[in-house]
């Protein structure tokens, strides 16, 4: 029997589910230990796991010799994006945070698209984002949280473009493994300061477990998807993420959306379905 090859959009969709599940499960630790310390611990664990599994000696040598600036740029963008992402999640609901952060992939889609139909899906997803940002009983905006989400949106846009280029430049998972190490180094100064005296051994071990959900598996899945998808199509597909985040918020955090948010979910899901049909 011939094995069935999964389409690349399915890898990206699984990555989104894992990211939002990991973010929801992180909520208690984010409140207790702080977003920077949680991010730092998780990235450290992710880097150790990836380096042990991949052993990318060649890419490390390229970085040390100054010939792999793409990997350094990806690691820097990933570290900043992840710190800002968890800082936003700690202050505003998952769905609202991801709606703002989706502006990054949306910008990539607009910048890279050449098909008229793509702009229809972009416009529909944009309407959904606006609706998802409307305040409600369980959806109260926080200026600092929104600021972190906006910063994460810029990091997310850079992450999409750079991940695709690193995947094309380096074979296997070598580039991602080294970029995760650089991301951990970027997060070390604020993470170490915030973690001092607040993080127990149990917290550190728990961060290692959740690091598999985010960022290890999502990074691998997204790299695999971006090797077979354009950055524009990947960016439009990410319109599904706010809806996934909201579902996780309802199921795990009791963050219930209102009518405006439900309408927003319908818009972003419609945009994602349109994108999937074009990819199939």
- Does 182 fall in a domain? yes
- Does 238 fall in a domain? no
What pLDDT score was predicted for residue 264? 86
Residue 246 predicted with pLDDT over 80: yes
- Using one digit for the tens of pLDDT, what is the confidence trace for 24-59? 988 888 988 899 999 999 999 999 988 988 888 888
Residue 3 predicted with pLDDT over 50: no
Q: What is the mean pLDDT of residues 150-163?
A: 93
Q: What is the mean pLDDT of residues 75-93?
A: 94
Bridge-partner residues for 139, per DSSP?
136
- Does 254 fall in a domain? no
pTM: 0.86
Q: What is the number of domains present in the chain?
A: 1
What pLDDT score was predicted for residue 1? 36
Residue 220 predicted with pLDDT over 60: yes
Of 106-110, 114-118, 201-205, 267-271, the one with minimum mean pLDDT is 114-118
Q: What is the mean pLDDT of residues 237-262?
A: 86
- Does 124 fall in a domain? no
Confidence of residue 276 (pLDDT cuts 50, 70, 90): low
Residue 177 predicted with pLDDT over 50: yes
- Does 15 fall in a domain? yes
Residue 280 predicted with pLDDT over 60: no
What pLDDT score was predicted for residue 248? 93
**Helix ranges (DSSP H) in the chain:** 8-33, 35-54, 57-64, 69-89, 94-101, 103-112, 116-132, 143-169, 174-195, 201-211, 217-226, 231-237, 241-253, 259-279
Q: What is the mean pLDDT of residues 158-163?
A: 92
- Does 49 fall in a domain? yes
Supply the range of the domain harboring residue 36.
8-110+142-230
Tell me the three state secondary structure of residue 136.
Answer: strand
- Using one digit for the tens of pLDDT, what is the confidence trace for 88-97? 999 998 988 9
- Does 235 fall in a domain? no
Q: What is the mean pLDDT of residues 159-187?
A: 91
Q: Which of residues 167 and 40 earns the better pLDDT score? A: 40
* Long-range residue pairs from 112-117, CB within 8 A, at least 24 positions apart, any chain: 112/230, 112/231, 112/232, 112/235, 113/232, 113/236, 117/274, 117/278
Chain-centre distance for alpha carbon 46: 14
- Does 225 fall in a domain? yes
Confidence of residue 136 (pLDDT cuts 50, 70, 90): confident
Q: What is the mean pLDDT of residues 226-253?
A: 85
What pLDDT score was predicted for residue 113? 66
């Amino acid at each position: 029997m011939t094995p069935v090859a999964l389409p690349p959009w399915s890898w990206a969709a699984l990555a989104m589910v894992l990211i939002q599940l990991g973010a929801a499960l992180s909520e208690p630790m984010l409140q207790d230990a702080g977003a920077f310390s949680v991010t730092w611990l998780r990235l450290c664990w992710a880097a150790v796991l990836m380096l042990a599994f991949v052993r990318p000696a060649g890419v490390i040598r390229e970085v040390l010799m100054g010939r792999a600036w793409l990997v350094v740029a990806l690691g820097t963008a990933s570290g900043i994006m992840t710190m800002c992402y968890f800082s936003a999640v700690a202050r505003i609901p998952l769905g609202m945070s991801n709606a703002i952060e989706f502006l990054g992939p949306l910008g990539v889609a607009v910048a890279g698209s050449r098909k008229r139909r793509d702009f229809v899906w972009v416009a529909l997803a944009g309407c959904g984002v606006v609706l998802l940002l409307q305040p409600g009983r369980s959806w109260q905006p926080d200026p600092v949280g929104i600021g972190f989400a906006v910063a994460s949106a810029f990091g997310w846009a850079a992450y999409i473009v750079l991940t695709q280029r690193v995947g094309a430049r380096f074979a296997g998972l070598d580039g991602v493994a080294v970029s995760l190490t650089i991301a951990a180094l970027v997060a070390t100064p604020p993470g170490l300061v915030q973690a001092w005296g607040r993080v127990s051994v149990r917290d550190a071990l728990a961060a290692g477990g959740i690091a598999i959900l985010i960022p290890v598996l999502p990074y691998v899945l997204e790299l695999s998807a971006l090797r077979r998808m354009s950055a524009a199509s990947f960016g439009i597909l990410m319109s599904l993420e706010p809806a996934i985040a909201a579902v996780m918020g309802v199921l795990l955090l009791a963050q219930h959306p209102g009518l405006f948010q439900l309408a927003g979910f319908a818009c972003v899901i419609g945009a994602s379905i349109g994108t999937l049909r074009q990819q199939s």
